Amino acid sequence: MIRGKVGSLSRFRCFGSRTLTSIADQSVAFEEFRTNETEPSRQSLLHEGKFYEIHPSVRKQLFTHGGLPKVYEKQMKTFAETTLMIRKPALEIMDYIKRTNFSKPIIRYVLYGKEGVGKSMTMAHLLHFGMENDFIIVHVPWVANWMKRPRELVTLNDPEGFFDMPLDAAAWLIHFKTQNLPLLSRPELIVSKEYAWSQRESTPKGASLLELVEHGINRMKFATGTIEALLAELKVLSSAGMCKTMVAIDGFNAFLVEKTTLQGLHKVRIPPQKITIVKPFMDIVNCDWQNGVCIISLDKLAIPRGITDSELPLNLLGRVGFELLDPFVPVRVDDYTEKEYYSCIEYYLNRRWIQNRKDGFDEELKFLSAKNPFKLMQLCSSL
């Protein structure tokens, strides 16, 4: 058992050249599993495996409307802090971005790996890096929510046979505005042409991006069209050097399934290509613009079970998706290393999340979880 009456950790475990110490030795434990370096741009392999704390204002800006797994958000609420572990895949991509020649077409980075290894957490770390470096963030927290559980599905007559998700589109615009509000007020970020929404409504040439976004929020009927206009304008502005854009899409392969679980007329399952919100995000991952970066994740959980048993990009993207993204940089996210596993155990001990510390508890957890981050979190969770 993992949970129980609080006791003292009486034993010591050697790991490499270091020693896992008693939880009573707070100063040593702090150095082992936590770092004071809270700026992603300054983090390096020296900090790998350690947790850093995200300031509440940063969390509010980046993750108010999604981006962290629900179970992790619940845990962080219990811990009264938001922390992320610094892991090699995030450090690798941050290093690539620092070395990028932004005058060239965008580079696509594809996060892949088994279920529960931390792809969404890696993306959250990269979002913090992007915010810190003044990237305008185009973030989709989990594509499968649109393909499986939309707030509303509206049948369109123009274009015929298509379906709209106005509530989800407006919610995404609110998410975009929250993440990028400090940058959207910049005077150089204006639309390049007029957008006519109806006979009476239009967004004039020279209006700010913020005006465009707020129009889509206030007039949900035009929210999807606003997203299409917004992403097209961001490609133009980025290529002109007016801003830098980071595209981050979690569960991108949900866009590429043959049929979604949604049903239209006569209970016919709807393909993603017939959902209007899909096209703008498929367009922005094309490498036909500059001064940006694209990070997407692939996950078996984003698609119906049974389509594939492999987590490799070719299997999850399919031939069409693979050719759409090619060339891209694949970055594998794996289970915890030994260092990361023991760092996580120390963190849980420090937060009193693990209370029953009988002899061999950490080896038992390692065996049961196979060092998978999500499984370890589940095993240590409350009843």
Asked whether residue 323 falls in the same domain as residue 267, the answer is yes
The residues pairing with 296 across neighbouring beta strands, listed in sequence order, are: 110, 249
Asked whether residue 229 falls in the same domain as residue 282, the answer is yes
Mean pLDDT of all residues belonging to the chain: 89
Asked whether residue 276 falls in the same domain as residue 360, the answer is no
Q: What is the DSSP string of 218-243?
A: H-GGGHHHHHHHHHHHHHHHHHTTS-
Q: Is the dihedral of CA 372, 373, 379, 383 positive or negative?
A: negative
Q: pLDDT tens for residues 361-379?
A: 889 999 999 999 999 999 8
The amino acid at 221: K
Cβ–Cβ under 8 Å, residues 344 and 335 = no
For residue 310, what are the domain limits? 103-332
For position 106, what pLDDT does the model report? 97
Q: What is the DSSP letter of 43?
A: -
For position 178, what pLDDT does the model report? 97
In angstroms, the CA 350 to CA 23 distance is: 6
Asked whether residue 312 falls in the same domain as residue 198, the answer is yes
Which residue would you say has higher pLDDT here, 352 or 102?
102
How many CB atoms are closer than 10 A to CB 101?
A: 8
Would you place residue 48 in the very low, low, confident or very high pLDDT band (cuts 50, 70, 90)? Answer: very high
Q: pLDDT tens for residues 60-77?
A: 999 999 999 999 999 999
In the predicted model, is pLDDT for residue 214 greater than 90?
yes
Q: pLDDT tens for residues 237-258?
A: 999 999 999 999 999 999 999 8
Look at residue 361 and tell me if it is in a domain: yes
How many CB atoms are closer than 10 A to CB 184?
A: 19
Say how many domains are in the chain. Answer: 2
Q: Is the dihedral of CA 170, 175, 178, 182 positive or negative?
A: negative
How many CB atoms are closer than 10 A to CB 265?
A: 8
Which residue would you say has higher pLDDT here, 276 or 309?
276
Instruction: Please enumerate in sequence order all residues whose Cβ is within 8 A of that of 168, keeping only pairs 6 or more positions apart, or say none.
Output: 145, 146, 150, 151, 152, 277
Please provide residue 22's backbone torsions phi and psi, each rounded to the nearest 5 degrees: -60, 145
In angstroms, the CA 350 to CA 354 distance is: 8
Tell me the three state secondary structure of residue 284. Answer: helix
Cβ–Cβ under 8 Å, residues 182 and 170 = no
Average pLDDT rounded to a whole number, residues 202-231: 95
Look at residue 144 and tell me if it is in a domain: yes
Cβ–Cβ under 8 Å, residues 178 and 171 = no
Look at residue 90 and tell me if it is in a domain: no
For position 249, what pLDDT does the model report? 98
Asked whether residue 274 falls in the same domain as residue 372, the answer is no
Look at residue 269 and tell me if it is in a domain: yes
Asked whether residue 112 falls in the same domain as residue 218, the answer is yes
Domain boundary among 293, 311, 332: 332
In the predicted model, is pLDDT for residue 264 greater than 90?
no
Average pLDDT rounded to a whole number, residues 122-127: 98
Q: What H or E segment, with its residue span, contains residue 183?
A: helix 166-184
Find the CATH number of the domain harbouring 266.
Answer: 3.40.50
Q: Quick one: what percent of the chain has pLDDT higher than 70?
A: 91
Look at residue 260 and tell me if it is in a domain: yes
In the predicted model, is pLDDT for residue 100 greater than 80?
yes
Asked whether residue 265 falls in the same domain as residue 375, the answer is no
For position 354, what pLDDT does the model report? 86
Asked whether residue 371 falls in the same domain as residue 308, the answer is no
Strands 107-112, 292-297: pairing kind: parallel
Q: Which residues in the chain belong to E strands, given as ranges?
A: 13-15, 18-20, 51-54, 82-85, 107-112, 135-140, 154-155, 163-164, 195-196, 202-203, 244-249, 292-297, 329-332
Which residue would you say has higher pLDDT here, 26 or 284?
284
Tell me the three state secondary structure of residue 292. Answer: strand
For position 265, what pLDDT does the model report? 77
Asked whether residue 365 falls in the same domain as residue 268, the answer is no
Look at residue 110 and tell me if it is in a domain: yes
Look at residue 9 and tell me if it is in a domain: no
Asked whether residue 342 falls in the same domain as residue 327, the answer is no
| Most confident segment among 155-164, 297-306, 326-335 | 326-335
Asked whether residue 199 falls in the same domain as residue 225, the answer is yes
Asked whether residue 123 falls in the same domain as residue 251, the answer is yes
**pTM of the shown model:** 0.90
Look at residue 156 and tell me if it is in a domain: yes
In the predicted model, is pLDDT for residue 21 greater than 70?
no
